[in-house]
Amino acid sequence: MMKEEILKEILKVGVIAVVRAKSADLAVKIALAVANGGIKPVEITMTVPGAMEAIKEVSQKLVDKVIVGAGTVLDTETARMAILAGAEFVVSPILNLKVIELCKRYSKVIIPGAYTPTEILTAWERGADIVKVFPATTGGPQYFRDIHGPLPQIRLLPTGGVTLENAADFIRAGACAIAVGSNLVDKKAVAEGKFEIITEEAIKFREVVEKARST
């Protein structure tokens, strides 16, 4: 898929599943579970042991079900390795302009992290496709409304503390999508191999976003 198609699909789904796991094998299983629940964009973080292998496996074996991305990317070397492994989008908790530049060079979706108005605008002006507001719970949905007052053109993505209870508030406050980690991927369910629970949660998050967008 072309970059434009990847971005369009991420925005359409409205949810990015953030996957942190104890192994690459578990990360792949989680990716499939959330995809079965209708969440196609899956961010495998670099904190997963064997993250590159997980990205490669998902990109090859689940290509029809998952749009795989790399998360917690801090530098250009990691971004390039992730892209070569098959990542279609790159997410960072920080604003590293060189990472944005590299992703643009490879024509991949880039979602850098920022928080202050200056950081957010800088990220957007330098080519961010979406700006990840992290940690989102610090300012909450009201912060998104405040930012969108003077900067309505910027696509904002809340990450950190997004739940089924506040997801709709973020969407109604102007978020283009949400990113969800531990509140979607239940650690107990993973430990017990009950991946159907994760699929059920994925469905709930999709429904919340869809409903919020229509009201």
Q: Which residues are catalytic?
A: 43, 132
Three-class DSSP labels, 116-175: CHHHHHHHHHCCCCCEEECCHHHCHHHHHHHHHCCCCCCCEEEECCCCCCCHHHHHHCCC
Following CA atoms 163, 14, 89, 55 in sequence, which dihedral angle do they give, to the nearest 10 degrees? 60
* Beta pairing partners, 180: 17
Residue 93, classed as helix, strand or coil, is coil
> Environment class of residue 203 by beta-carbon count within 10 Å: exposed (0-12), middle (13-18) or buried (19+)?
middle
Residue 146, phi then psi, degrees to nearest 5: -65, -45
